Structure 1
Amino acid sequence: MTNAFPRSWRVLLLPGWLDSLPAHWQSRWQTLHGFDKVEQDDWRWPRRGDWMARLDEVLLADHRPPLLVAHSLGCQLVASWAAHSRQAERVGGALLVAPPDTERADMPPQLFNWRPVTREQLPFASIAVISSNDPYCANERGRAMATAWGSEIIDIGARGHINGESGLGDWPEGLALLRRIAERAKR
């Protein structure tokens, strides 16, 4: 197993609602690179406060500074958590992929407690990766959230929800973006 990052960084994978399936790039990165996935107690009915508390627990269990790799609802977790946690100053940076618009009228009721979307600037470097045809977030809404968070925006074109169904495989381009964050990160 090879890890593209110095052992001084702890890479934490933050899946979205319902977790990441085996074909998802996050699951592949976990297997290929030994990154740590933050396991949530309830993937079906995610409570924002519970997910935030779990992220704090995971961070407190290891002294290494983390790099956060969030997909979908995991992006909303990063934004909400960073606005409230005392641990946010330890984070080196975040890769935020396919943030969903939880304020949309057609969101499932399981995600209603993720409203309103947190729109505070993140206290660490971040890159937001969005798709032009994400079924869970209009492109302009994704850009607006990323701008509010202070993230660099990368639009990768029509790649759906940037998940296992997007045909990304091991997604080396995403890993390159994470390397960029690691190089820019404050230590």
Structure 2
Amino acid sequence: MSIPLVLILPGWPQSVPDPWPLEWASMSGRRCVDQHDWQRPLRGDWLIRLEEAVLDAAHVVLVAHNLGCIQLSAWAAHSRLTDRVRAALLVAPLDVETVAVRQRLPTWSPIERQRLPFTSWMVGPEHQSDQVEPNAPMQSDTFDSVWAQALAESWGAHWIAQRAAPKPPAKQPSDWPQGQALLYELMKD
């Protein structure tokens, strides 16, 4: 089997302040799934962009962050191209069903909760109070790990708890070496 293309699905708005998805997309064998409008994302538009990106490759591994996780689950529920996906790494999904987020992103809820048809791992903090993205827009300063673990279970994703909260974006390595190690491990399966 050929080496898969790694498609990066950044969060909203385009993984700012968390730089690792865009840094990863600049590496060899990886590509960011660009969107028409990062500030006012429409679910249908984002799903089409993902469909086009997967169509261009024989085999892919998906790395999704934040809203990208929700994009991936919605795409997988409707696409006929899921057999091209070898695996997916999901990081800190955005809860688009909260009132604050739903008001800003009305086309994104409800979240598709059916089992993903490929191997998937979800990464999140070990404890409810661990910070994930301290400055992320419209997210509380804590990540709901109980909600994320339930979402991982509904998607059939293996839950991987981080032992400690990531460093603030200014102090965090932009290539997120722990995540790189997880991706390489996932690609071996």
Aligned residue type for 1:38: V
TM-score of the superposed pair, with normalisation by structure 1? 0.85
Once residues 51 and 45 of structure 1 are traced to their aligned partners in structure 2, the CA distance between those partners, rounded to angstroms, is 11
Q: How far is 1:38 from its partner? A: 0.4
Q: How far is 1:59 from its partner? A: 1.4
Segments of structure 2 that go 5 or more residues without pairing to the other structure are 134-138
Aligned to 2:136: none
Segments of structure 1 that go 5 or more residues without pairing to the other structure are 1-5
Aligned to 1:175: 180
Aligned to 2:64: 70
Matching residue within 101, 112, 115 for 1:107: 101
Q: Does 1:154 align with 2:157?
A: no
Q: Does 1:59 align with 2:54?
A: yes
Aligned to 1:145: 151
- How many residues align structurally? 177
Q: 3-state SS of the aligned residue for 1:107?
A: helix
Q: Which moved more, 1:124-133 or 1:24-33?
A: 24-33
Q: Which moved more, 1:90-99 or 1:100-109?
A: 100-109
Once residues 81 and 163 of structure 1 are traced to their aligned partners in structure 2, the CA distance between those partners, rounded to angstroms, is 31
TM-score of the superposed pair, with normalisation by structure 2? 0.84
Q: Which moved more, 1:25-34 or 1:48-57?
A: 25-34
Aligned to 1:31: 26
Percent identity among equivalent residues?
39
Q: How far is 1:163 from its partner? A: 8.4
